Amino acid sequence: MNRGYRVVLALVVLASLSLASCRGCVSKEGQAPSAAGPTRVPCPSLTGTWRIGYNTSCAAKGGVAQTFGTTEVVSDGCNLKFTVRQLGEFESTLEGRSGNLRVRFTDPCAGVADGSVTVTNDKSMVVGFRGTASGGDPRCCDGIYGTVNLVKVPPAKTPTPAPDTPTPAPTTPGKSGSPKKAAKK
């Protein structure tokens, strides 16, 4: 094999390895990535208050069937964190609008689960997970699986002040403001 052919072959192998490791990448034209210029799909900013609803398989064993509330989501670049009360702490590293997820179950349960998160139009997220949650509470069970649905709470609107309008002059009851004719005697 001549030296030029080996150099070209080495470059092709290196390019294919870099493309294979670039999950979540697209070319500038939105087509499959090329060796010349894959770019990362940007992650959405998800920080804020979110409404949540969740259910787990442990509910069939006497646990909570469905719970609603709110949580504060913190996103730093593509890293995402939030806590669901009475369930656990959720962490994910997004690649664009989806990513793998880790759940660390908290009191009354202990354990971990793995899953995925999908973000839709920056206003909703769906999480699915499966793992083991041990503990004496009915909400804890081996082979736990569940879903968490999150919907972003819109920011509170600040009232718009009314435009300046002139204040009418006060009037005295019984007086119309026009001169009255003197009464004849």
Per-residue pLDDT of 155-185, as tens digits, reads 888 777 667 766 666 666 665 555 555 555 5
- Higher-confidence residue of 20 and 51: namely 51
Give the three-class secondary structure for 115.
strand
Domain with CATH 2.40.128 in the chain: 48-152
Quote the pTM value.
0.63
- Mean pLDDT, rounded, for 49-78: 81
Q: Cα-Cα-Cα-Cα dihedral of 169, 173, 178, 182, to 10°?
A: -150
Contact assessment for residue 144 and residue 52, using Cβ atoms and an 8 Å cutoff: no
Give me the architecture of the 48-152 domain, per CATH. Answer: Beta Barrel (2.40)
Under DSSP, is residue 29 helix (H, G, I), strand (E, B) or coil?
A: coil
Tokens of 99: 């990513």
What pLDDT sits at residue 25? 41
| pLDDT score of 137 | 87
Distance separating alpha carbons of residues 50 and 117, to the nearest angstrom = 15
Express as a percent the part of the chain with pLDDT over 70.
Answer: 60
Q: Where are the alpha helices (DSSP H) in the chain?
A: 3-20
Q: Which residue has the higher pLDDT, 80 or 39?
A: 80
Collapsing DSSP to helix, strand or coil, 74 comes out as strand
Q: For 1-50, what is each residue's pLDDT tens digit?
A: 554 444 333 333 333 333 333 444 433 334 444 455 556 678 999 999 99
- Residue 24: the pLDDT is 44
| Rounded-to-5 percentages of helix, strand, coil across the chain | 10, 40, 45
pLDDT at 182: 55
* Measured distance CA(99)–CA(129) in Å, rounded: 12
Give the confidence band of 127 by pLDDT, cuts at 50, 70, 90. Answer: very high
Q: Which pLDDT does position 184 carry in this prediction?
A: 59
141 contacts 58 by C-beta, under 8 angstroms: yes
